Structure 1
Amino acid sequence: MTDMNLFDLFLKAGFLVKCVILILIFFSIVSWAIIMQRWRVLVSATRESVTFEDKFWSGIELSRLYQESLTRRDNLSGLERIFYSGFKEFARLHRANSRASSSVVKGASRAMRISMNREVEALETHVSFLGTIGSISPYVGLFGTVWGIMNAFVGLGGVKQATLQMIAPGIAEALIATTIGLFTAIPAVIGSNHLTLRVNKIAQRYDNFTEEFIAILHRQAFAGDSPK
């Protein structure tokens, strides 16, 4: 047994334990794929938010910024999508009834909130599944271990005198399921927590921008100005 590696233990394991291990390996591959893909998406979303905020607060006219967004309306995301939705609704309502300032601002605010919720929902894609993998993997591994140990002891039912050499291989084969379960769960839990934190930070940035933009639209609407 001293020369036996994990691969040898896997080959000697029972059918059900092998299935459990393969499922856990699949979960591990999926979780790492989600972590890397979501990480790239969130880093990109943060970078795009900073870039758009710098442009928004640079003193550029809102109508000009809107026209630039309009030319790329099918490829917008993040803060620019929120801005586009809010300004578009504000301009439409303002043209329809410029005297109903309160309704104009409320309509623009509602459009921005809807857009923001959709953007945050897109950022959260698969993150909850990552948390699920982290939660269930140890139990899946434990199930494989318990089943393997049970079979190891059942196999000794007809033996008059059991020795450690007879029991140890079956227990070792079963314990790799728990090991792989933990190996799968720990990165998934860490990744889920970290990604959730980044999503929350980006969502807070979106919310802050929305409130600030609503305040700007509110001043314009009640000042009687057309969108600028």
Structure 2
Amino acid sequence: MDLLLHSIQLDWPVLLPILICSILVVAVVLNRFSFYKRNKRDVVLLIPRLQKELAKNNLQGAQNLAVQCGGVIGEVTEEAVRIFSEQRNGFSRSFDIAAALATRKLESHLTILGTIGGVAPFLGLFGTVVRILYTFQDLAQQGNQSAAVAMGIGSALIATAFGLGVAIVAVVFYNSFQSIVKRYEDDFQLIKLLFLSFVDSEGTSSPVQPPQNSNISM
């Protein structure tokens, strides 16, 4: 405890940025965890029901399913229904735009975690190097004092440990959240392939009456 207090007292200019990074990590993790939890949907349950409605050319029923689903998956599905009813020939590119906009929502703030994961260890290392330099300077001025040298080196290593700890947490959650985003992107592709299967099979058929209230804002 004395070593920690000694490090905080002497190295606070370096420890302060790392502390700010740790606060940002906690804030982003809580924000993203809450967002993903609110938007968690099982696309495996949605796809068969959606397929039945599309097979019956019931776009209104498909839109209702999307609204009931809710979340990011529901928004993308609802937009897919609108595109399917209005511009089947350009469905793929239009859907990719809608999916990309949804992916931006999913990836929001993740760059903060990635940046902190890369920068925090260097902040800690910088603090360690600076403290060791001051320790050697004190040693040169005061002579051989083993206790002071040990205290100085131990204090210097705290900054590195703090930086590494923050970086490890940031990288772990960054990778975890990226895997969640990847699963959403896979779900978007499943929805896209489902609609494309009907675009290919019904490309020459007469157009279907678009669903009511189909203007969806992403």
Q: Shorter-chain TM-score: what band?
A: 0.7 to 0.9
Alignment partners' CA distance in 1, 2:171 and 2:202:
47
Q: Percent identity?
A: 24
State yes or no: 1:188 paired with 2:186.
no
| Alpha-carbon distance change, 114 to 67 in structure 1, aligned in 2, over 3 angstroms | same
Q: Give 1:100's aligned residue.
A: none
State yes or no: 1:38 paired with 2:32.
yes
Cα offsets for 1:6-55 (capped at 9, x unmatched): 234312x1xxx212111111111211221222122223333264664465
Structure 1 stretches (4+) deviating beyond 3 angstroms?
48-55, 57-60, 67-70
- Paired residues of 2:114 and 2:170 also in contact (CA < 8 A): yes
Q: Give 2:213's aligned residue.
A: none
Indicate the SS of the match to 2:154: helix
Q: Give 2:23's aligned residue.
A: 29
Amino acid at match of 2:173: G
Alignment partners' CA distance in 2, 1:111 and 1:128:
26
Alignment partners' CA distance in 2, 1:91 and 1:59:
13
- Paired residues of 1:31 and 1:188 also in contact (CA < 8 A): yes
- Displacement of 1:113: 1.0
Question: 5+ unaligned residues in a row in structure 2: which ranges?
Answer: 211-218
Q: Give 2:85's aligned residue.
A: 91
- Paired residues of 1:137 and 1:184 also in contact (CA < 8 A): yes
Q: Give 1:204's aligned residue.
A: 186
State yes or no: 1:6 paired with 2:25.
no
Q: Give 1:66's aligned residue.
A: 63
The residue correspondences of 1:160-179 to structure 2 (distance < 5 A) are: 161-179=143-161
Which deviates more, 212-221 or 56-65? 56-65
Q: Give 2:215's aligned residue.
A: none
Q: How high is the TM-score relative to the length of structure 1?
A: 0.78
Alignment partners' CA distance in 1, 2:119 and 2:89:
44
Amino acid at match of 1:184: V
Amino acid at match of 2:189: D
Cα offsets for 1:109-167 (capped at 9, x unmatched): 222110001111210111122011111111110000100110111122223x3121121
Provide the alpha-carbon RMSD of the alignment: 2.6
Amino acid at match of 2:135: A
- Paired residues of 2:99 and 2:188 also in contact (CA < 8 A): yes
Count of matched residue pairs: 206
Which deviates more, 42-51 or 147-156? 42-51
Amino acid at match of 2:174: S
State yes or no: 1:222 paired with 2:204.
yes
State yes or no: 1:142 paired with 2:125.
yes
Alignment partners' CA distance in 2, 1:144 and 1:79:
45
Picking from 198, 204, 213, the partner of 2:195 is 213
Picking from 138, 141, 156, the partner of 1:155 is 138
Amino acid at match of 2:122: Y
Q: How high is the TM-score relative to the length of structure 2?
A: 0.82
Cα offsets for 1:40-76 (capped at 9, x unmatched): 2223333264664465246483223336768x9xxx6
Question: 5+ unaligned residues in a row in structure 1: which ranges?
Answer: 93-103
- Paired residues of 1:77 and 1:119 also in contact (CA < 8 A): no
Alignment partners' CA distance in 1, 2:173 and 2:83:
38
